[in-house]
Amino acid sequence: MEDKFAELEDRLAEITDLSQVSALLGWDQQTYMPPAGVEGRGNHMATIDRILHLKRTSDELGQLLADLAPLVNEWPPDSVKTRLVKVTKREFEKRTKVPVEWVEEFARLTTLAEQAWEKARAEDKFANFQPYLERIVDMKRSYAGFFAPYEHVYDPLLDDFEPGTKTMEVKAIFEALRPQQVALIREILACPPIDDSFLHQHFDEQKQWDFGVQVITKFGFPWDRGRQDKSPHPFTSSFGVNDVRITTRLYPDHMESALFGTMHEAGHGLYDLGIHPAFARSLLGDASSLAIHESQSRMWENLVGRSRPFWKHFYPKLQETFPAQLGNVSLESFYKAVNKVQPSLIRVEADEATYNLHIMLRLGLEISLLEGSLLVSDLPEAWNSGMEEYLGIRPHNDTLGVLQDIHWSVGLMGYFSTYALGNLISLQLWERIRQDIPDLDEQIEAGEFRPLLEWLHENIHQHGSMFEPQELIARVTGSRINPDPYVRYLTEKYREIYGI
Amino acid sequence: MEDKFAELEDRLAEITDLSQVSALLGWDQQTYMPPAGVEGRGNHMATIDRILHLKRTSDELGQLLADLAPLVNEWPPDSVKTRLVKVTKREFEKRTKVPVEWVEEFARLTTLAEQAWEKARAEDKFANFQPYLERIVDMKRSYAGFFAPYEHVYDPLLDDFEPGTKTMEVKAIFEALRPQQVALIREILACPPIDDSFLHQHFDEQKQWDFGVQVITKFGFPWDRGRQDKSPHPFTSSFGVNDVRITTRLYPDHMESALFGTMHEAGHGLYDLGIHPAFARSLLGDASSLAIHESQSRMWENLVGRSRPFWKHFYPKLQETFPAQLGNVSLESFYKAVNKVQPSLIRVEADEATYNLHIMLRLGLEISLLEGSLLVSDLPEAWNSGMEEYLGIRPHNDTLGVLQDIHWSVGLMGYFSTYALGNLISLQLWERIRQDIPDLDEQIEAGEFRPLLEWLHENIHQHGSMFEPQELIARVTGSRINPDPYVRYLTEKYREIYGI
């Protein structure tokens, strides 16, 4: 039986290698590939992904899992071996339940849908994207059907990104959160707006880059095991525990983009870099879930990077970097500016206080679409009404509304909620960290991030996907995902900033 | 049978994809991969190469080739179908004749040998590398044995890089060339040396980079289908006809390195970029041979880039770029400096007139080692005597002698001669080009390279590996590889420069 387990490890090592190779093809496409390379790259990816799919769903792997099943009960439930078999079985079953014909048809559909979405967005014509989205919703419903019976038709979709998490639980979390977050935003909007005009001067791009590098170097980003490049959309990609790459984008007149984007991606990167080296070629070497991943990026971006102690340390350095632009701006003015709350139409530009509402809108719409209680043809109106209800603003066209995000066009449904869940988790962890590191603020103010990073490595990162997300959070904080710490944080922080 | 041929094409498309993916893994390792990624990258490469090997040697591929064999005689001998089957059969037979045990043992040996070579070179201790090289020579002899009967034990090694070319023919070519090239060098060395001290001032690296980009843009390097990056050793890598990447390295006090290196790699790149798009996912999408590839790089580097017409066009621009360094240096002085002849110990630093002698030395030694007429233990002395005989200088240690090149340590034998053959071929083509483009010099002086590039695309590049190298050269020039044009070129050029 040791042989069987060793064979499982060998097969998973090969699968992990191929999946990291696939990630490198994607990274290169987003960073350095010359534009005309796109067709060839499509072939490279299709070939690797086809081989990967065959290996992930092979009869031999299924037989190995069957052979190992009786043993799993004899091993300790938290042991690496038990967990590895469990995670492998879960993935194997998910992949083998979906007919290859569905996978191929969905790939063809979303290739066309993405093109249609790009065009529809550019021309502000939702009607041209509508038939594709209708087909995607239909196919997503069929997809859920492969996993029947389920509690809710949305569960199988959510489960792809948040293993073990149920739709009803997420809905309940968001229903508890929403009224409190809406009420807070109303309070804030009744106050005089914060002046952040000085953030929109000209900031030299190389100096922005260098400052971001300085910050994440202090965070502990290990440059011998990672790197940063430029790309149109920032992302993080891991090719194993010793090769993790982040990207950023620079706008000369919008310095927050690179500044907080770099910290955000570094948060993702530090997670991937903290996974136990023993999982380097194992399915346990992935993150627990997207929400856990997002909790790390949002923690470094917001709880660290938008905090007063952080700027007490870094603002003098930023002023030295940009004396003409910031020499006469006080720390307090700067701190408020980078925390300015202003409801806006575009999710990716949303501030900390309004961001979750964008997510809740999308989650509600996705669920309704899957349930069939909302028709795709009624989606733009539902979007616009939702924006008005949640944020008090209404898009005057669909490009700024329902067409803004790429996700649906590429077939991603069940994904959005992980962004907001990540915010909530980040605060649950943060409250726990404050107990374990009582002088956290003083450390941050001193530019000392090692104890924080070590805490995250120890409690979150190293485990990879040993534990499902809810289980991991419960192990660390004593409770499942819970919005209360986040509400407490937002309320306290923003009342102080706005003098409410 | 059309189905069989279509199946062959599908299998080769997959093989081509995987081999391009493998090339990307290598490119990334040399350019951007963080240092600690090396172990993971080794796994990625091993996994891809193992899958590739299985697909290249599969029974199904062998059966397809057997099924198609009778048809090949019915198709026109120069047709794409005939040639594709022929090239595939050749590769299949070469790969299946070598036992997988040999391949694995050789991979293990050369991994250790490369480490031993690096250490031996750093410590100038050939004796520590000797046992590895002895084992490599033994294994290379076994390798040749898999292809017995052969005319010469070196033939199977040479054939890996120069399909269809025989050892005796290469020896004869070099034996005709050597005395003439040695005599010319003696004439040159009797002349007063050329002053090139102004090439070794400080040249800003970014300006060097920009000038190189300006030059190869004029050559016709298409930036939408290629790119240039930095790497410790310059190389060219192709991921398909629309994604070809070159690299360069910059030394502030040695501007020729990047200048001519960039032109050299662009020459390789323009070849790969000129292959017929229909061969994008076919075994015919490779180059005909390494020597043909080298003929292209050396043509752009030397016949174009070290010519007087070229510098008549570009020297004023170079002076504008570096006015402090070159403002007072005449075109004639600069032209002579970049063509200075000086026998030196290191092959990669050799000038145009002495380069081939370095190659001839290595080829002779390789053949003797394989034949068994030279023992590895006698190699350093044989090297040093050969240097004295060919170039009149003697290395005072093995780091500057027999240990200088990485090739043997990684198992490359049969490779070196392609560098010199490339030089010879470049001149055979050049004489033909001068007939077809009578005003070639005037065009180059005017910075007009399109007719030259189009000629190369038409006559060489587009064919990929449709034709074996000797066949291709004969088709274009009417004769097989022949040293006379090269000797004529060297003699005329250098007698003029040195006033002989």
pLDDT digits (tens, 9 = 90+) for B378-414: 999 999 999 999 999 999 999 999 999 999 999 999 9
Please tell me the pTM assigned to this model.
0.94
Question: Do B84 and B136 belong together in one domain?
Answer: no
User: Mean of the per-residue pLDDT values for chain A?
Assistant: 96
Residue A215, phi then psi, degrees to nearest 5: -65, -50
Are both B218 and B152 inside the same structural domain?
yes
Tokens of B281: 């996912």
**A-chain residues near B222 (CB < 8 A):** 36
CA atoms within 13 A on the CB side of B157: 31
Tens digit of each residue's pLDDT (9 = 90 or more) over A381-402: 999 999 999 999 999 999 999 9
Active-site positions of A read 265
In eight-state DSSP terms, residue B350 is -
Question: In the 3-class helix/strand/coil scheme, how is B454-474 assigned residue by residue?
Answer: HHHHHHCHHHCCCCCHHHHHH
Q: pLDDT category, A31, cuts 50, 70, 90?
A: very high
Q: Between A14, A37, A280, which is nearest B40 by CB?
A: A280
Asked if the C-beta of A285 comes within 8 angstroms of chain B's C-beta atoms, the answer is no
**How long a stretch of residues is chain B?**
500
pLDDT at A1: 74
Residue A59's CB is within 10 A of a number of other CB atoms, namely 8
Give a yes or no: residue B272 inside a domain.
yes
Do the domain assignments include residue A104?
A: no
pLDDT, residue A126, reads 98
Between chain A and chain B, the number of residue pairs with CB atoms below 8 A apart is: 111
From the number of C-beta atoms within 10 Å of its C-beta (0-12, 13-18, 19+), residue B367 rates as: buried
| B236 lies in the same domain as B145 | yes
Work out the average pLDDT over A20-38. 95
The distance from CA A485 to its chain's CA centroid, rounded to whole angstroms, is: 20
Mean pLDDT of A353-366: 96
Residues A329 and A425 in one domain: yes
Q: What is the 3-state secondary structure (H, E, C) of B412-432?
A: CCCCCHHHHHHHHHHHHHHHH
Q: Which helix (H) or strand (E) holds B124?
A: none
Angle at A56 between CA B45 and CA B96, to 5 degrees: 45
Q: What is the pLDDT of residue B182?
A: 94
Chain-chain contact of B281 with A242 (C-beta, under 8 angstroms): no
Distance from CA of B112 to the nearest CA of A (A): 23
Q: Are strands B244-248 and B236-238 parallel, antiparallel or unpaired?
A: antiparallel
Residue A110 lies in a domain: no
Q: What was the pLDDT predicted at B304?
A: 98
With 80 as the cut, is the pLDDT of residue A318 above it?
Answer: yes
Query: Which of the 8 DSSP states describes residue B237?
Result: E
Please report where in the chains the tokens 């000392």 appear, as a residue. Answer: A448
Backbone torsions φ then ψ of A345, nearest 5 degrees: -80, -25
Chain segment A454-495, per-residue pLDDT in tens: 999 999 999 999 999 999 999 999 999 999 999 999 999 999
Same domain, B79 and B183: no
Indicate the helix (H) or strand (E) that contains B15.
Answer: helix B2-31
With an 8 Å Cβ cutoff, are B37 and A243 in contact? yes
Whether residue B378 sits in one domain with residue B332: yes
| A204 min Cα distance to partner chain B (Å) | 18
Angle at A129 between CA A124 and CA A134, to 5 degrees: 145
In-domain check, residue A371? yes
Q: Is residue B207 domain-shared with residue B165, that is, in the same domain? A: yes
Say whether A43 and B17 touch across the interface (CB within 8 A). Answer: yes
Helical (H) or strand (E) element with A253: none
What are the φ/ψ torsions at residue B133 (nearest 5 degrees)? -65, -35
Angle, helix A308-321 to helix A205-219, in steps of 10 degrees? 140
Shortest Cα–Cα distance, A418 to chain B (Å): 29
State the nearest Cα–Cα gap between B353 and chain A, in angstroms: 37
Strands B226-230, A236-238: pairing is unpaired
Q: Are residues A295 and A381 in the same domain?
A: yes
Same domain, B323 and B438: yes
Among B81, B97, B113, where does a domain finish? B97
Given pLDDT bands bounded at 50, 70 and 90, which one contains residue B1? confident
**Whether residues A88 and A180 fall in one domain:** no
For residues B179-195, give the mean pLDDT: 95
**B239 inside 8 A of chain A by CB:** yes
Structure confidence by residue, pLDDT tens digits, B68-111: 999 888 999 999 999 999 999 999 999 999 998 999 899 889 98
Mutate to test the interface with A, among B41, B49, B206, B282 (most CBs of A within 10 A): B41
What integer pLDDT is reported at residue A111 of this predicted model?
87
- Inform me whether the C-beta atom of residue B242 falls under 8 Å from chain A C-beta atoms: yes
CATH number, domain containing residue B391: 1.10.1370.30
Residue B18: give the domain boundaries.
Answer: 2-97
pLDDT of B459 > 90? The answer is yes
Q: Which residue has the tokens 């004869």?
A: B172
Residue B240 one-letter amino acid: G
Residue A106 lies in a domain: no
Total domains in chain A come to: 2
pLDDT tens readout for residues B285-315 = 999 999 999 999 999 999 999 999 999 999 9
Please tell me if residue A32 touches chain B, with a CB cutoff of 8 Å. Answer: yes
Report CA-CA distances (Å) from B211 to B204, B218, B320.
Answer: 11, 11, 10
Candidate list B91, B162, B256, B265, residue with the active-site label: B265
Amino acid letter for position A322: F
DSSP calls for A306-356? TSHHHHHHHHHHHHHHSHHHHTTS-HHHHHHHTT-----S-GGG--TTTHH
Instruction: Among A37, A48, A245, select the one facing B240 at the smallest CB separation.
Output: A37
Q: Are A269 and B67 in contact (CB under 8 A)?
A: no
Q: Average the pLDDT over A217-232 and give the result.
A: 97
Helix (H/G/I), strand (E/B), else coil: A164: coil
Paired with A238 in beta bridges are: A244
Phi–psi pair at A161, nearest 5 degrees: -110, -30
Distance CA B263, CA A74 (A): 65
Give me the pLDDT at residue B28, please.
96
Separation CA A423–CA A407 (nearest Å): 19
Average pLDDT, chain B: 96
Phi, psi (5° rounding) for residue A221? -65, 120
| Percent of chain A residues topping a pLDDT of 70 | 100
Instruction: Please write down the HEC assignment for all residues of A360-421.
Output: HHHHHHHHHHHHCCCCHHHHHHHHHHHHHHHHCCCCCCCCCCCCCCCHHHHCCCCCCHHHHH
Encode pLDDT of B423-444 as tens digits: 999 999 999 999 999 999 999 9
Residues contacting A494, CB < 8 A, separation 6+: A184, A188, A339, A341, A353, A500
* Position A369 confidence tier, pLDDT thresholds 50, 70, 90: very high
Residue A389 main-chain phi, psi, to 5 deg: -65, -45
Residue A14 with chain B: CB contacts under 8 Å: 47
Residue A14 inside a domain? The answer is yes
Question: Mean pLDDT across the stretch B456-462?
Answer: 98
- Give pLDDT, residue B310: 98
Residues A82, A128 within the same domain = no
The span from the CA of B419 to the CA of A194, in Å, is 68
Residue ending a domain, choose from A78, A97, A116? A97
CB contact under 8 A, B40 and A240: yes
Q: How far off is chain B from A260, nearest CA to CA, in Å?
A: 23
Both B46 and B137 in a single domain? no
In chain A, the N- to C-terminal Cα span, in Å, equals 65
In a domain, A119, yes or no: no
User: How many residues does the structure list for chain A?
Assistant: 500
What lies within 8 Å, CB to CB, of B331 at 6+ separation is B311, B312, B315
Residues from chain A contacting residue B48 (CB–CB below 8 Å): 17-18, 21
Is pLDDT above 90 for B2? no
Q: How confident is the model at residue A313 (pLDDT cuts 50, 70, 90)?
A: very high
In A, minimum Cα distance to B19 occurs at A44
A495 within some domain: yes
Asked if residues A96 and A57 have their Cβ atoms less than 8 Å apart, the reply is yes
